[in-house]
């Protein structure tokens, strides 16, 4: 089979090397999947930059956490899937259900400690795989495992999910932020979004954002958020940009900040006073479990939600997809078709 490996961290546009490896064979409790599409996340760029921290494997590995495909064969004791089933894999292969603190998920991250989806065929744990929504193509389903599930977890797997009419703030136009917008609107929430270019802001308006803010021309965007909410602030911020201090100033007292950040900075220092005065709950989000994935897929089917895809690249041009991600010019998800 053909696959890409991450062989030279530190060289973003030349980090992925195409190789030919033997076809994998499923063992007990595993499924063999013919991958049809895979998608990129910011973590993939952090890996090629050698900036992924302690989660960076020391060996060559197949990148990309997100993908979808068809089951080709199942191993012994697998009854939940059969050849021909359309599936996606959960990011943390060992996080099946329950709270994150009870999940033995460390070391089971797909596209890292576990070889990822940028290959023609993969073998995965059957219990770490889910059926994809019937209304989605493989290319659309390939966008779900990280970005969509992270957004879903942030908004709806909390102990106190928002009620219709509440307001959410999203930052930028990457996968998590666009999925957060889509899920929030489907649930009757209001959404304020930020971006740095007029073209992206226009697309956001057409999608249905209630308000948009250009954070380059309005650097104190947290003040504008306050104005748009009559001084109260938003009920929840989906924080992906490494701008926690500003998000704390934009959220209503007693509101929530879902901390997904790292796209802009892993080293932001937040004054204790800012955190105290915000009265906010800051909840780190670590993607999600298989059970959450299934909850999300039911909602995607029920609401007929379609992921926003920026561009689809063929497999042999996968490095160009990585370059597109690095450019920051994408709106939504970047997909590689196999």
Residues 88 and 61 in one domain: yes
Residues 22 and 140 in one domain: yes
Residues 135 and 260 in one domain: no
% of the chain residues with pLDDT over 70: 94
- pLDDT, mean of residues 107-113: 88
Residues 183 and 267 in one domain: yes
106 pLDDT higher than 90? no
Other Cβ atoms closer than 10 A to 99: 9
Residue 151 lies in a domain: no
97 pLDDT higher than 70? yes
**Band of pLDDT at residue 274, cut at 50, 70 and 90:** confident
Predicted confidence (pLDDT) per residue in 36-78, tens digit = 999 999 999 888 888 776 666 767 899 999 999 999 999 999 9
Residue 238 lies in a domain: yes
Predicted confidence (pLDDT) per residue in 130-156, tens digit = 999 999 999 999 999 999 999 999 999
Comparison of pLDDT for 10 and 42, the residue scoring more: 42
Comparison of pLDDT for 48 and 312, the residue scoring more: 312
Looking up residue 184, the CATH number of its domain turns out to be: 3.40.50.720
Residues 307 and 260 in one domain: no
Q: What is the pLDDT of residue 102?
A: 58
Residues 100 and 193 in one domain: no
Q: What is the pLDDT of residue 278?
A: 83
Full domain range(s) for residue 7 = 2-146+288-337
220 pLDDT higher than 90? yes
- pLDDT, mean of residues 1-26: 87
- pLDDT, mean of residues 114-124: 97
Name beta bridge partners: 97: none
Whether residue 191 contacts residue 209, with contact meaning beta carbons closer than 8 Å, is answered with yes
Among candidate residues 31, 129, 14, 117, the one with its CA nearest the CA of residue 71: 31
pTM for this prediction: 0.94
8 pLDDT higher than 80? no
299 pLDDT higher than 60? yes
Among candidate residues 169, 183, 285, the one with its CA nearest the CA of residue 235: 169
- pLDDT, mean of residues 3-12: 82
207: helix, coil or strand? helix
211: helix, coil or strand? strand
- pLDDT, mean of residues 157-165: 88
Instruction: Give the separation between CA 83 and CA 33, rounded to whole angstroms.
Output: 9
Residue 152 lies in a domain: no
Among candidate residues 152, 213, 171, 178, the one with its CA nearest the CA of residue 331: 178
Residues 119 and 20 in one domain: yes
Q: What is the pLDDT of residue 95?
A: 93
Comparison of pLDDT for 52 and 214, the residue scoring more: 214
Q: Taken in order 116, 117, 118, 119, is the CA torsion positive or negative? A: positive
% of the chain residues with pLDDT over 90: 77
Instruction: Give the separation between CA 21 and CA 5, rounded to whole angstroms.
Output: 10
Instruction: Give the separation between CA 46 and CA 233, rounded to whole angstroms.
Output: 32
101 pLDDT higher than 70? no
Instruction: Give the separation between CA 206 and CA 265, rounded to whole angstroms.
Output: 30
Q: What is the pLDDT of residue 107?
A: 78
Comparison of pLDDT for 271 and 265, the residue scoring more: 271
**Average pLDDT over all residues of the chain:** 92
115 pLDDT higher than 60? yes
Beta-carbon contacts of residue 246 (< 8 Å; ≥ 6 apart)? 221, 222
Q: Looking at the 3D structure of the chain, how many domains does it have?
A: 2
Residues 257 and 206 in one domain: yes
Residues 233 and 331 in one domain: no
- pLDDT, mean of residues 196-212: 96
Looking up residue 36, the CATH number of its domain turns out to be: 3.90.180.10
Q: What is the pLDDT of residue 54?
A: 63
**Band of pLDDT at residue 103, cut at 50, 70 and 90:** low
Residue 210 lies in a domain: yes
Domain boundary pick from 284, 304, 320: 284
Residues 186 and 133 in one domain: no
Residues 14 and 134 in one domain: yes
Among candidate residues 25, 180, 35, 14, the one with its CA nearest the CA of residue 111: 35
CA angle 148, 3, 55 (to 5 degrees): 55
- pLDDT, mean of residues 101-129: 88
Q: What is the dihedral of CA 161, 162, 168, 172, to 10 degrees?
A: 20
Q: What is the pLDDT of residue 264?
A: 53
Instruction: Give the separation between CA 134 and CA 237, rounded to whole angstroms.
Output: 30
Residue 184 lies in a domain: yes
């Amino acid at each position: 089979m053909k696959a890409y490996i991450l062989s030279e961290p530190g060289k973003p546009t030349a980090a992925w090397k195409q190789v030919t490896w033997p076809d994998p064979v499923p063992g007990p409790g595993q499924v063999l999947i013919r991958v049809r599409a895979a998608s990129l996340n910011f973590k993939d760029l952090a890996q090629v930059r050698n900036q992924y921290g302690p989660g960076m494997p020391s060996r060559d590995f197949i990148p990309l956490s997100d993908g979808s495909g068809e089951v080709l064969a199942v191993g012994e004791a697998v009854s939940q899937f059969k050849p021909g089933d359309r599936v996606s894999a959960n990011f943390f292969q060992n996080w099946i259900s329950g709270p994150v603190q009870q999940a033995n998920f460390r070391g089971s991250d797909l596209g890292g400690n576990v070889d990822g989806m940028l290959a023609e065929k993969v073998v995965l744990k059957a219990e770490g795989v889910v059926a994809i929504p019937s209304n989605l193509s493989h290319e659309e389903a390939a966008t779900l495992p990280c970005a969509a599930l992270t957004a879903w977890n942030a908004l709806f797997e909390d102990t106190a999910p928002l009620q219709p009419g509440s307001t959410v703030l999203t930052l930028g136009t990457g996968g998590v932020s666009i999925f957060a917008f889509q899920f929030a609107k489907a649930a009757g929430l209001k959404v304020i979004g930020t971006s740095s270019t007029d073209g992206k802001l226009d697309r956001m308006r057409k999608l249905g954002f209630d308000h948009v803010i250009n954070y380059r021309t309005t650097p104190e965007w947290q003040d504008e958020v306050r104005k748009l909410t009559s001084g109260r602030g938003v009920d929840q911020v989906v924080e992906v940009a490494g701008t926690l201090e500003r998000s704390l100033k934009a959220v209503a007292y007693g509101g929530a900040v879902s901390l997904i950040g790292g796209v802009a900075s892993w080293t932001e220092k937040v004054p204790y006073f800012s955190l105290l005065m915000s009265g906010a709950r800051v909840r780190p989000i670590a993607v999600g479990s298989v059970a959450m994935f299934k909850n999300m897929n039911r909602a995607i089917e029920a609401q007929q939600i379609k992921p926003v895809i920026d561009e689809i690249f063929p497999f042999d041009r996968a490095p160009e997809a990585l370059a597109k991600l690095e450019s920051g010019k994408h709106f939504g998800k970047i997909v590689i078709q196999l």
